Amino acid sequence: MLQATELLPGAFHVPLARLADARGAFVKTHAVGALARLGLHFELREEFYSLSRRDVIRGMHLQLPPHDHDKIVYCPQGRALDVLLDLRRGKGYGRSRGVLLDAREPALVFIPRGVAHGFKALEDDTLMVYKVSSEHAPTHDAGVRWDSFGFDWDCAAPLTSERDRRHPALAEFDSPF
Protein backbone atom coordinates (compact mmCIF):
# COMPACT_ATOMS: atom_id res chain seq x y z
CA MET A 1 0.00 0.00 0.00
CA LEU A 2 1.29 3.43 -0.93
CA GLN A 3 2.01 5.87 1.89
CA ALA A 4 1.74 9.59 1.25
CA THR A 5 3.20 12.66 2.94
CA GLU A 6 1.22 15.88 2.55
CA LEU A 7 3.45 18.71 1.27
CA LEU A 8 0.75 21.39 0.97
CA PRO A 9 -3.02 20.93 1.42
CA GLY A 10 -4.01 18.35 -1.21
CA ALA A 11 -0.43 17.97 -2.53
CA PHE A 12 1.35 14.73 -1.71
CA HIS A 13 4.74 13.03 -1.99
CA VAL A 14 4.19 9.30 -2.60
CA PRO A 15 7.14 6.88 -2.46
CA LEU A 16 6.89 4.07 -5.02
CA ALA A 17 7.97 0.45 -4.74
CA ARG A 18 11.12 -0.40 -6.69
CA LEU A 19 11.66 -4.05 -7.51
CA ALA A 20 15.24 -4.86 -8.46
CA ASP A 21 17.09 -8.00 -9.47
CA ALA A 22 19.99 -9.00 -11.73
CA ARG A 23 18.10 -7.72 -14.80
CA GLY A 24 17.59 -4.20 -13.45
CA ALA A 25 14.56 -2.55 -11.85
CA PHE A 26 10.79 -2.24 -12.22
CA VAL A 27 8.65 0.64 -10.89
CA LYS A 28 4.89 1.05 -11.26
CA THR A 29 4.23 4.78 -11.67
CA HIS A 30 0.46 4.87 -12.11
CA ALA A 31 -2.28 2.82 -10.46
CA VAL A 32 -5.76 4.35 -10.31
CA GLY A 33 -6.85 2.11 -7.42
CA ALA A 34 -3.80 2.88 -5.29
CA LEU A 35 -4.25 6.62 -5.83
CA ALA A 36 -7.96 6.36 -4.99
CA ARG A 37 -7.13 4.59 -1.72
CA LEU A 38 -5.06 7.69 -0.87
CA GLY A 39 -8.06 9.87 -1.69
CA LEU A 40 -6.48 11.09 -4.93
CA HIS A 41 -8.80 10.93 -7.92
CA PHE A 42 -6.94 11.56 -11.14
CA GLU A 43 -7.99 11.19 -14.77
CA LEU A 44 -5.03 11.19 -17.15
CA ARG A 45 -5.53 13.42 -20.22
CA GLU A 46 -1.97 14.13 -21.34
CA GLU A 47 1.57 13.02 -20.53
CA PHE A 48 4.91 14.57 -21.43
CA TYR A 49 8.49 14.76 -20.19
CA SER A 50 11.44 17.11 -20.02
CA LEU A 51 15.15 16.36 -20.05
CA SER A 52 17.35 18.91 -18.28
CA ARG A 53 20.98 19.72 -17.58
CA ARG A 54 22.23 20.34 -14.07
CA ASP A 55 21.11 23.71 -12.62
CA VAL A 56 18.21 24.09 -15.04
CA ILE A 57 15.22 25.60 -13.25
CA ARG A 58 11.84 25.10 -14.91
CA GLY A 59 8.82 26.80 -13.43
CA MET A 60 6.68 27.85 -11.79
CA HIS A 61 3.97 26.56 -14.15
CA LEU A 62 0.22 25.99 -14.08
CA GLN A 63 -2.87 26.31 -16.24
CA LEU A 64 -5.70 28.70 -15.45
CA PRO A 65 -9.41 27.77 -15.26
CA PRO A 66 -11.29 26.38 -17.04
CA HIS A 67 -8.25 24.38 -18.26
CA ASP A 68 -6.60 24.04 -14.84
CA HIS A 69 -5.45 20.57 -13.91
CA ASP A 70 -4.17 18.19 -11.32
CA LYS A 71 -0.65 17.01 -12.09
CA ILE A 72 1.47 14.00 -11.19
CA VAL A 73 5.24 14.28 -11.64
CA TYR A 74 8.11 11.87 -11.12
CA CYS A 75 11.79 11.58 -11.95
CA PRO A 76 12.79 8.26 -13.61
CA GLN A 77 16.34 9.44 -14.37
CA GLY A 78 18.61 11.74 -12.40
CA ARG A 79 17.63 13.90 -9.41
CA ALA A 80 15.54 17.02 -9.04
CA LEU A 81 14.48 19.44 -6.37
CA ASP A 82 10.72 19.55 -7.00
CA VAL A 83 8.99 22.74 -5.87
CA LEU A 84 5.32 23.58 -5.27
CA LEU A 85 3.81 27.04 -4.79
CA ASP A 86 0.26 27.39 -3.43
CA LEU A 87 -1.71 29.95 -5.44
CA ARG A 88 -5.09 29.13 -3.91
CA ARG A 89 -6.60 32.11 -2.09
CA GLY A 90 -6.63 31.68 1.67
CA LYS A 91 -4.22 31.29 4.54
CA GLY A 92 -1.84 29.05 2.56
CA TYR A 93 -1.48 31.45 -0.39
CA GLY A 94 2.16 31.92 -1.37
CA ARG A 95 3.41 29.00 0.72
CA SER A 96 6.02 26.88 -1.02
CA ARG A 97 7.49 23.47 -0.42
CA GLY A 98 10.35 21.54 -2.00
CA VAL A 99 11.00 17.81 -2.05
CA LEU A 100 13.80 15.71 -3.52
CA LEU A 101 12.90 13.39 -6.39
CA ASP A 102 15.60 10.81 -7.09
CA ALA A 103 15.38 8.03 -9.69
CA ARG A 104 17.15 5.69 -7.25
CA GLU A 105 14.34 6.18 -4.70
CA PRO A 106 11.23 6.37 -6.89
CA ALA A 107 8.39 8.61 -5.79
CA LEU A 108 5.73 10.74 -7.36
CA VAL A 109 4.28 14.10 -6.40
CA PHE A 110 0.56 14.76 -6.76
CA ILE A 111 -0.11 18.47 -7.38
CA PRO A 112 -3.69 19.76 -7.17
CA ARG A 113 -5.25 22.55 -9.21
CA GLY A 114 -4.15 25.98 -8.05
CA VAL A 115 -0.64 24.87 -7.07
CA ALA A 116 2.20 25.94 -9.40
CA HIS A 117 5.00 23.49 -10.12
CA GLY A 118 8.68 23.81 -10.93
CA PHE A 119 11.96 22.03 -10.33
CA LYS A 120 15.73 22.37 -10.38
CA ALA A 121 17.74 19.58 -12.04
CA LEU A 122 20.44 18.42 -9.63
CA GLU A 123 22.43 16.51 -12.24
CA ASP A 124 22.79 16.34 -16.01
CA ASP A 125 20.20 14.36 -17.98
CA THR A 126 17.50 14.66 -15.32
CA LEU A 127 14.28 13.32 -16.78
CA MET A 128 10.94 14.53 -15.40
CA VAL A 129 7.61 12.98 -16.43
CA TYR A 130 4.36 14.92 -16.11
CA LYS A 131 0.85 13.45 -16.16
CA VAL A 132 -1.98 16.01 -16.27
CA SER A 133 -5.75 15.84 -16.00
CA SER A 134 -6.44 18.31 -18.85
CA GLU A 135 -4.91 18.90 -22.24
CA HIS A 136 -2.54 21.81 -22.67
CA ALA A 137 -4.36 25.03 -23.55
CA PRO A 138 -1.77 27.65 -24.58
CA THR A 139 -4.20 30.52 -23.95
CA HIS A 140 -4.54 29.39 -20.31
CA ASP A 141 -0.87 28.66 -19.68
CA ALA A 142 0.47 30.71 -16.77
CA GLY A 143 3.20 30.89 -14.20
CA VAL A 144 4.93 32.78 -11.44
CA ARG A 145 8.58 33.80 -11.71
CA TRP A 146 10.72 31.19 -10.01
CA ASP A 147 12.74 33.69 -7.97
CA SER A 148 9.87 35.81 -6.63
CA PHE A 149 8.44 33.89 -3.68
CA GLY A 150 11.33 33.46 -1.27
CA PHE A 151 12.24 29.85 -2.02
CA ASP A 152 15.95 29.02 -1.65
CA TRP A 153 16.88 27.22 -4.87
CA ASP A 154 20.57 27.04 -3.82
CA CYS A 155 21.70 27.91 -7.32
CA ALA A 156 23.95 30.88 -8.16
CA ALA A 157 23.61 30.69 -11.95
CA PRO A 158 20.44 28.83 -12.97
CA LEU A 159 19.59 28.06 -16.58
CA THR A 160 16.05 29.26 -17.27
CA SER A 161 13.90 29.88 -20.31
CA GLU A 162 12.90 33.30 -21.61
CA ARG A 163 9.28 32.28 -21.01
CA ASP A 164 9.95 31.53 -17.34
CA ARG A 165 11.82 34.82 -16.88
CA ARG A 166 8.76 36.70 -18.24
CA HIS A 167 6.30 35.22 -15.72
CA PRO A 168 5.00 37.78 -13.22
CA ALA A 169 6.37 37.87 -9.69
CA LEU A 170 4.16 36.33 -7.01
CA ALA A 171 3.25 39.83 -5.75
CA GLU A 172 1.91 40.65 -9.26
CA PHE A 173 0.02 37.39 -9.87
CA ASP A 174 -3.77 37.73 -9.74
CA SER A 175 -4.91 34.28 -8.69
CA PRO A 176 -8.20 32.90 -10.00
CA PHE A 177 -8.05 30.01 -7.52
Determine which one of 30, 49, 130, 140 is catalytic.
Answer: 130
For residue 21, the 8-state DSSP code is E
Region at 47 (left for phi over 0; alpha for psi -120 to 50; beta for the rest): beta
Q: Contact at 8 Å (CB) between 84 and 111? A: yes
- For Cα atoms 131, 133, 134, give the angle at the middle one, nearest 5 degrees: 110
Q: Contact at 8 Å (CB) between 149 and 85? A: yes
Cα separation, 157 vs 121, whole angstroms: 13
130 labelled catalytic: yes
Determine which one of 61, 69, 117, 167 is catalytic.
Answer: 61
Count, residues in the chain: 177
Catalytic residues: 61, 130
